[in-house]
Amino acid sequence: MSDVLELACELIRRRSLTPVDAGCLVLIGERLARAGFQLESLCYGEVDNLWATHGTGGPTLVFLGHTDVVPTGPETSWRSPPFEPTIRDGRLYGRGAADMKGSVAAMVVALEQFVVARPDHRGRVGLLLTSDEEGPTNLDGVRRVVEHFRTSGERIDWCVVGEPSAKQRLGDLIRVGRRGSLSGTLVVRGMQGHVAYPEKALNPIHAFAPALAELAATRWDEGNSDFPPTSFQVSNLNAGTGANNVIPGDLTALINFRYCTASRADDLRARTEAVLQRHGLDYALDWDVSGEPFLTPPGGTLRETVVAVCRDLCGIDPEQSTGGGTSDGRFIAPLGAEVVEIGPVNATIHKVDECVDVEELEKLPAVYRAVCERLLG
């Protein structure tokens, strides 16, 4: 069994449901310490994070990953137990095989091989792992680590995220940016009353409807060459007591923007509130930005390097995408780092019978190692 396959199996055996790490980081830390890496354990609340580096000075290339996994659902729905790594038909099955213990194992093996081959490489190479990526808040994972990095003056030039990015084959798609996500909880206040006496009540549904129509029809921006236009969606809309003879006292709407680098979160907020005010609404609106958009521009050193590695090692000219959901890369990018995501096929992530192709998993350390060689070799 290859080194990467063996390590991926060892990680899958550990039931590391967010934020539990179940010993994954200790196992990896011991290996990297043996390879000469300096370790720093950054524990916040219930969350363990590992920061391992090799070398000194700059530039700094960091691999970013998570060892936590999402719940399995009913284990009996799986063809083989989710925490018992099983190889069938050339695929490795188990929770986290693709998202993202396979990539984490590949990063560790690549880093070990790289520092053995190039003990005096230029700059620094590092691995940042968290056990809080899949949870609902991510408060104590990479978000907190980055706060620590800001105060300690840590500098990161390039960050490779191992999230499963590929569609059908390793190297067919890399992510070079992500849209931002801006959420709001809107409460429109009216006045409750009997439907037969509307003059003695104020219907918040009627008050909100024209404002909603305007918000839904607004063209927020035109997008740009790397991103589609910003989109506005209402995900929940609630009002009413359940009775058909009562005008409700208030209305609650959950709204979300997936926004591109052509817009800024504070502008979207201001424009939204201007619409609500123009329609004369009495409202309260709580905003939450869960991730700023980022883009690693074409011509960037890391982006061009990863594209070249895909061509040379996978024989594919990769699609360079900014689609999909968010990842921890959103916390690293504001440090001024170029961020690119490249990992295995994502077809089975978060599903029962999650798996990764063994041949592709065994190719992944060479891909990550090639990025190290070309940037720091």
68 is catalytic: yes
Q: How far is the CB of 287 from Zn ion (least distance, A)?
A: 26
Q: Of 163 and 250, which has the nearer Cβ to Zn ion?
A: 163
The two beta strands, 60-66 and 158-161, are parallel
Candidate segments 11-19, 81-89, 99-107, 277-285, binder of Zn ion by CB under 5 A: 99-107
Amino acid letter, 17? L
Candidate segments 157-165, 176-184, 213-221, 279-287, binder of Zn ion by CB under 5 A: 157-165
Q: Of 146 and 202, which has the nearer Cβ to Zn ion?
A: 146
Told to check if 100 binds Zn ion by CB under 5 A, we report yes
Query: In which order are the strands placed within the sheet that holds 47-55?
Result: 38-44, 47-55, 124-130, 60-66, 158-161, 338-341, 173-175, 319-321
Q: Of 99 and 221, which has the nearer Cβ to Zn ion?
A: 99
The site string for Zn ion over 159-198 (x = CB under 5 A, - otherwise) reads: ----x-----------------------------------
Strands (E), 89-204: 91-93, 124-130, 158-161, 173-175, 177-178, 180-189, 193-194
Q: How far is the CB of 348 from Zn ion (least distance, A)?
A: 12
The site string for Zn ion over 281-300 (x = CB under 5 A, - otherwise) reads: --------------------
Given the residues 133, 221, 250, 360, the one annotated as active site: 133
Q: How far is the CB of 133 from Zn ion (least distance, A)?
A: 6
Task: Measure CA of the first residue to CA of the last residue in the chain; give whole Å.
Answer: 28
Question: How many C-alpha atoms does 267 have within 13 Å on its Cβ side?
Answer: 9
Given the residues 48, 68, 140, 250, the one annotated as active site: 68
Instruction: Determine the Cα–Cα distance for residues 19 and 170; give it in Å rounded to an integer.
Output: 28
Which H/E stretch holds residue 215? helix 204-217
Strands (E), 131-199: 158-161, 173-175, 177-178, 180-189, 193-194
Are 322 and 178 a contacting pair, CB within 8 Å? Answer: yes
Are 323 and 227 a contacting pair, CB within 8 Å? Answer: no
Q: Of 108 and 247, which has the nearer Cβ to Zn ion?
A: 108
Q: Identify the CA nearest to 371 among candidates 322, 314, 310.
A: 310
288 is catalytic: no
The site string for Zn ion over 238-277 (x = CB under 5 A, - otherwise) reads: ----------------------------------------
Told to check if 11 binds Zn ion by CB under 5 A, we report no
Candidate segments 84-92, 96-104, 227-235, 309-317, binder of Zn ion by CB under 5 A: 96-104
Told to check if 24 binds Zn ion by CB under 5 A, we report no
Q: How far is the CB of 42 from Zn ion (least distance, A)?
A: 19
Joined tokens for residue 347 = 């077809």
Instruction: Determine the Cα–Cα distance for residues 75 and 38; give it in Å rounded to an integer.
Output: 38
Q: How far is the CB of 145 from Zn ion (least distance, A)?
A: 16
The site string for Zn ion over 41-80 (x = CB under 5 A, - otherwise) reads: ----------------------------------------
Among 21, 48, 68, 99, binds Zn ion (CB under 5 A): 99
- Sequence-distant (6+) residues with CB within 8 A of 196 are 245
58: number of Cβ within 10 Å: 12
Instruction: Determine the Cα–Cα distance for residues 127 and 130; give it in Å rounded to an integer.
Output: 10
Q: How far is the CB of 66 from Zn ion (least distance, A)?
A: 6
Q: How far is the CB of 33 from Zn ion (least distance, A)?
A: 25
Q: Of 100 and 186, which has the nearer Cβ to Zn ion?
A: 100
Binding site for Zn ion (CB under 5 A): 99-100, 163
Catalytically annotated residues:
68, 133
